[in-house]
Amino acid sequence: MIMKERLKIISILIPNSITVPLLLLILLSACVTARIEDNRLGMTGLNEGEGIVIIAKSYHLGNETENKFISCISKNMRDGASGLRIISNQEFVDSLFPWFEPRTAPANMQSLPLLMNRPGVANIIKNNSIRYIIWVDGNTDSTGGGGNLSCAVGPGGAGCFGFAWWSDDAKYEASVWDLSDFSEDGNVTADYSGTSFLPAVIIPIPFIARTQNRACQGLAEQLKLFIVG
Partner 1 sequence: MKYKKNKNFLALVATFLILSCSSQITVLDPNIPKPVIASSNLSAAIKYPDNFEDFSHEEQIIGADKWQIKLGGSNKILFNKLFSSIFNNFIILDKDSALESTTDILIEPEIEAFEFSVPKQSQTNAFAVWIRYRIKIYDNKGKTIANWPISAYGKSETGTFSNNNDLGHAAILAMRDAAALIILQIEKSSILK
At residue 46, φ and ψ (nearest 5 deg) are -140, 120
- Using only C-alpha atoms, the chain has a radius of gyration, in whole angstroms, of 23
Where in 9-68 is the site for partner 1 (CB under 8 A)? 59-60, 64, 66-67
Interface with partner 1, residue 210, by CB under 8 A: no
DSSP 207: B
Full DSSP string of 137-187? EEEEEEEEEEEEEEEEEETTEEEEEEEEEEEEEEEEEEEEEETTTTEEEEE
Angle between helices 2-13 and 16-29 (to 10 degrees): 140
Stretch that binds partner 1, among 19-27, 112-120, 128-136, 203-211 (CB under 8 A): 112-120
- To partner 1, the closest distance from the beta carbon of 204 in angstroms equals 17
| Contact residue for partner 1 among 36, 121, 160, 225 (CB under 8 A) | 121
Interface with partner 1, residue 104, by CB under 8 A: yes
- To partner 1, the closest distance from the beta carbon of 104 in angstroms equals 5
Interface with partner 1, residue 4, by CB under 8 A: no
How many CB atoms are located within 10 Å of the residue 37 CB?
11
| Contact residue for partner 1 among 21, 22, 79, 94 (CB under 8 A) | 94
Stretch that binds partner 1, among 42-50, 94-102, 169-177, 182-190 (CB under 8 A): 94-102
Nearest C-alpha neighbor of 42 from the set 223, 183, 228, 179: 183
Question: Judged by CB under 8 A, how many residues of this single chain contact partner 1?
Answer: 20
Question: Which stretches of the chain bind partner 1, using CB under 8 A?
Answer: 59-60, 64, 66-67, 94-99, 101-104, 118-121, 124
